[in-house]
Amino acid sequence: MKMTPRLVLGGSLIIFSSVLGIVVILPWLTIPEQPSESFRARTALEEEGRQIYVNNGCMYCHTQFVRNIDWAEGALRVARSGDYVADRPNLVGTERTGPDLSQQGGEHPDDWHMAHFTNPRFTRPESVMPSWTFLGPEKIKALTAYVQSLGFKDADQRTLRQKEWKPQAITAYEAGPDAIIRWLHANVAPGWATVTNPYPTTAPDLARGHRIYESFCIGCHGPVGDGMGEAEPYLYPPPLNFTLLKGRGITGGILYYQIMNGITGTGMPYFKMDLESAKIWDVGNYIATTFIGESDAGKGARGIAAANETASAVVKPGGGQ
């Protein structure tokens, strides 16, 4: 077949028309413009924050959609076409340099976002996101309102939960160290308080725990675990001073539960989507050993040792070492 200009032009038009029909016209004709079950209209402050989001190109690094194949990443909800009926322009985005934001609302309290937008390394030490300090407090407040709206009615429920727990956390903190620790321990799910860290302390475990602490925790709790990290001026109640836990009945199970589940209403997020089980035990043991000076690692009942445990840490069948 001879490639004539007419053939090239005709073939190009056929390909363009096919793509246009499949990608634009077919969805336009078949996807209903009906609000999803979670949709609600945004407030004026949320719309102002959305415009700041648009103006600063946040969609170049963040998506706002979740597909079925994203469930393995810890997604809360698969996106629906009705989630976007009010979006002009649409901010779905395609690049996930940063996390997907489609359900970000209520994941953190407002003061966490203030610290995060001021300098993302304050809350996520290894973040590559730029600082947004130049926006100023009022624009950061509006941007936070927009981010807190992502997820609509589902986000509203999460935000309400943050607001319900924050006054309790503040009251306990302002009552003094004993009160805040009693409150924290009292809100650990039953059974966890008596669980010990199942893995004996070894140099590799502590090294991994140290690395995890630097990757996720140091911005709030600080390099010496006293709660005086760079995010501290923005958070209230402030991050926990781990050194206060000495002699107050801390267990590996309590640390694990609070790292896994977070402390809603405070700047302490949950890490159950970021860290697998072994890493939570490791960072908990690092905190217990380094900052608290008390660790129950490996002191409880043991079952079958994991295949990767060192020989010195393995309990042999029958209870021998």
Answer yes or no: is pLDDT of 205 > 70.
yes
Q: Which residues form the domain of 217? A: 175-292
Other Cβ atoms within 10 Å of 259 Cβ, number: 25
More confident call, 72 vs 271: 271
Average pLDDT over residues 271-289: 95
Cβ(154)–Cβ(77) below 8 Å: yes
How sure is the predictor about 271, in pLDDT bands with cuts at 50, 70 and 90?
Answer: very high
Q: What is the mean pLDDT of residues 163-172?
A: 98
Mean predicted confidence (pLDDT) in 99-103 = 94
Are 139 and 66 part of one and the same domain?
Answer: yes
Together in a domain, 211 and 285: yes
Same domain, 179 and 285: yes
CA atoms within 13 A on the CB side of 48: 11
Say which DSSP state 135 is in: G
Do residue 233 and residue 287 come from a single domain? yes
From the list 108, 132, 129, 104, the residue with the least C-alpha distance to 118 is 132
Helix ranges, the chain (H):
5-20, 26-30, 44-55, 110-118, 120-123, 137-149, 152-174, 177-186, 203-216, 218-221, 252-261, 277-287
The two tokens of residue 103 are 């359900």
At residue 138, does pLDDT exceed 90? Answer: yes
Q: Percentage of the chain with pLDDT > 90? A: 77
Query: Residue 17: what pLDDT?
Result: 94
Q: Does 153 share its domain with 228? A: no
My answer on whether 55 and 140 are in the same domain is yes
CA 94 – CA 65 distance, rounded (Å): 9
Decide if 299 is inside a domain: no
Same domain, 149 and 181: no
Q: Do 182 and 228 fall into the same domain? A: yes
For residue 311, being part of any structural domain is answered with no
Q: Clarify whether residues 195 and 151 are in a common domain.
A: no
| Residue partners of 281: CB distance under 8 A and separation at least 6 | 197, 198, 199, 252, 256
**pTM more than 0.85:** yes
Cα distance between residue 165 and residue 261, in whole Å:
14
Residue 306 resides in a domain: no
pLDDT at position 319 is 47
Q: What's the mean pLDDT when you consider all of the chain?
A: 92
Q: Tell whether 320 is covered by a domain.
A: no
By the 10 Å C-beta count (0-12 exposed, 13-18 middle, 19+ buried), 228 is classed as: middle
* 265 domain residue, yes or no: yes
CATH number of residue 272's parent domain: 1.10.760.10
* C-alpha torsion angle, residues 81, 70, 97, 95 (rounded to 10): -40
Same domain, 146 and 181: no
Q: How far apart are the first and last CA of the chain?
A: 79
> What's the confidence (pLDDT) of residue 1?
63
User: What confidence tens digit (pLDDT) does each residue in 219-265 have?
Assistant: 999 999 999 999 999 999 999 999 999 999 999 999 999 999 999 99
Any domain includes 121: yes
Could you tell me if 87 and 123 lie in one domain?
yes
Number of domains in the chain: 2
The gap from C-alpha 131 to its chain's centroid, in whole angstroms, comes to 18
| Residue 161 in tokens | 């939960």
On whether both 180 and 287 belong to a single domain, the answer is yes
For 12, the token pair is 């190009």
Residue 302 lies in a domain: no
CB atoms < 10 A from the CB of 65, how many? Answer: 19
Residue 184 covered by a domain: yes
Q: Which amino acid is at 241?
A: N
Which amino acid does the sequence have at 212? I
